Amino acid sequence: MTTGRRVRDAGAPRAEATTIVSGVAIESIAGGGDGVGRVDGVVVFVPRTAPGDLATVRFTTRRRGRFARGELVSLDRPSAQRVRPACPHYTADRCGGCQLQHLGYDGQLGAKGVIVRDALTRIGRRRIETAIAVAASPDPWRYRQKLTLALRRRSAGGWVAGLHAYDDPDSVFALVDCPITDARVMVVWRAVLDAVEADPTLLPDAPTLRASVRLLDAAGGAALTVEGGEAWTDGGRLATRVPLVRALWWRRDAPGAPARLMAAADDASAAARVGASFGQVNARTGRQVHDAVVAATLAASPRTAVDAYAGIGETAAALAGRGLTVTAIERDPDAARWCAERLADPSRVIVARVEDALAGALPADVVILNPPRSGVAEAVTDALAGPSGPATLLYVSCDPATLARDLARLAPYRLASVASFDMFPQTAHVETLCVLRRDDERPR
């Protein structure tokens, strides 16, 4: 039961009303990590709340609106699942990089299982009778092997480097530490920021930049990629100042601009492979997912397979090594070249967008999809649902909503199994492997 008072915001349009309600029961966690409560038939999404919370919530609704974005005013009764966030930035700076640090780890896993199940049933229109268990990460902390920061030039000179607040995406707060990021990555970032603090001209001349550090080796060597600015001819100076930066890339501020190698400790070919790397940010859980994909593929006893969105070919090479004829499809030419080096005839690589090449690569016994967060184009699901579609389809996704949307387009396939993995602890993201079998299986 909720009680409360309605407060009209004088600056809000007449069609909107701002409401403060106490005793709002938080029932679950939504796909983006917000808690979900209900007030007078309105579903309210409230960041930083937990299932079991009773909370006082401020939210704004439009007339006859069914959904609202809320703000936690205070906790009337905290959930037993709540814990104290380990990262000071989570509370003090309202960091948007994590969404679930206020939940104990078992609570995070349970919430993600509900997120996956709800998406597959409501959006994907798949019948799932049991709860979905999410495999725990071996490393709930310090697992990220890549960290991307926003850099903003100060008016007085120098740079602020950090992340955005979840409720103010235009702001940037100075990051001291990120406890979900590998300590070796943080060492490189501190060295880069120290060098830039001493000499701000080491970075491109631009008001804002994005930059990422990706770990390359156990010794802490890393690749640095800088994005933004119109020109940068002396990027090698930054790599010289920070020896742990083994390869430095720059992408100018233009739509579709390719990354340019600015400096590399090794030969350019090796550095190009680094730049094309599609490695997971959580290496140990990524290996679990990889092994599960290979095992599920081999369980179908296939002779041929298509590895769509193949990246640098980890899965394609593993399957080809087991005797399958694999067609790998990858649009990035650098990644495709490295993938091709790992395959031998009759396996092959097609350098193209999956939506342009998949139909021509069929038929195959198994197709593996591992698309970006946005999911697949309709041309992909159309090809799979057509007469040349495979008997077995594996779909790996980091976004339950787009996964479910794409599964809804695949009517000829039944959902044989679902396995979820906590690739991204402390966040609302979850990795899911769906195995689908064709209902109209027939001799090939």
Residue 269: per-residue pLDDT:
52
* Domain assignment of residue 94, yes or no: no
How many Å is the maximal CA-CA distance in the chain?
71
* Domain assignment of residue 105, yes or no: no
**Over the stretch 78-108, which tens digit does the pLDDT of each residue have?**
999 999 999 999 999 999 999 999 999 999 9
Pair (289, 270) in one structural domain: no
Pair (42, 75) in one structural domain: yes
Identity of the residue numbered 33 = G
Pair (311, 366) in one structural domain: yes
* Domain assignment of residue 399, yes or no: yes
Pair (244, 173) in one structural domain: yes
Residue 4: per-residue pLDDT:
45
* Domain assignment of residue 205, yes or no: yes
Examine the fold and report which residue of 79, 105, 123 is the final residue of a domain before the chain moves on: 79
Pair (286, 405) in one structural domain: yes
Pair (251, 345) in one structural domain: no
* Domain assignment of residue 93, yes or no: no
* Domain assignment of residue 206, yes or no: yes
Domain count, the chain: 3
Pair (286, 414) in one structural domain: yes
Q: What is the CATH number of the domain that holds 29?
A: 2.40.50.140
State how far the Cα of 315 lies from the Cα of 328, in Å rounded to an integer.
9
363 prior amide bond cis, ω within 30: yes
Pair (424, 292) in one structural domain: yes
Pair (271, 286) in one structural domain: no
Query: According to the 3-state scheme, what is the secondary structure of the chain?
Result: CCEEEEECCCCCCCCEEEEEEEEEEEEEECCCCCEEEEECCEEEEECCCCCCCEEEEEEEEECCCCEEEEEEEEEEECCCCECCCCCHHHHHCCECCCCCCCECHHHHHHHHHHHHHHHHHHHCCCCCCCCCCEECCCCCCCCECEEEEEEEECCCCCEEEEEEECCEEEEEEECCCCCCECHHHHHHHHHHHHHHHHCHHHCCCCCEEEEEEEECCCCCCEEEEEECCCCCCCCHHHHHHCCCEEEEEEECCCCCCCCEEEEECCCHHHHHHHHCCCCCCEHHHHHHHHHHHHHHHHHCCCCEEEEECCCCCHHHHHHHCCCCEEEEEECCHHHHHHHHHCCCCCCEEEECCHHHHHHHHCCCCEEEECCCCCCCCHHHHHHHHCCCCCCEEEEEECCHHHHHHHHHCCCCEEEEEEEEECCCCCCCCCEEEEEEEECCCCCC
Identity of the residue numbered 86 = A
Residue 220: per-residue pLDDT:
94
Residue 183: per-residue pLDDT:
97
Pair (239, 356) in one structural domain: no
Residue 253: per-residue pLDDT:
86
**Over the stretch 329-383, which tens digit does the pLDDT of each residue have?**
999 998 899 999 999 999 999 999 999 999 999 999 999 999 999 999 999 999 9
Pair (211, 155) in one structural domain: yes
Pair (199, 336) in one structural domain: no
Residue 439: per-residue pLDDT:
79
* Domain assignment of residue 235, yes or no: yes
State how far the Cα of 245 lies from the Cα of 235, in Å rounded to an integer.
12
Question: By residue range, what is the domain housing residue 34?
Answer: 3-79
Q: Tens-digit pLDDT profile for the chain (444 aa)?
A: 454 444 444 454 456 778 899 999 999 999 999 999 999 999 999 999 999 999 999 998 876 679 999 999 999 999 999 999 999 999 999 999 999 999 999 999 999 999 999 999 999 999 998 999 999 999 999 999 999 999 999 988 889 999 999 999 999 999 999 999 999 999 999 999 999 999 999 999 999 999 999 999 899 999 999 999 999 989 899 999 999 999 999 999 888 788 888 998 865 555 555 554 556 789 999 999 999 999 999 999 999 999 999 999 999 999 999 999 999 999 999 889 999 999 999 999 999 999 999 999 999 999 999 999 999 999 999 999 999 999 999 999 999 999 999 999 999 999 999 999 999 999 999 999 999 999 765 444
* Domain assignment of residue 433, yes or no: yes
Q: What is the CATH number of the domain that holds 397?
A: 3.40.50.150
pTM value surpassing 0.85: yes
Per the CB < 8 A criterion, the answer to whether 126 and 165 are in contact is: no
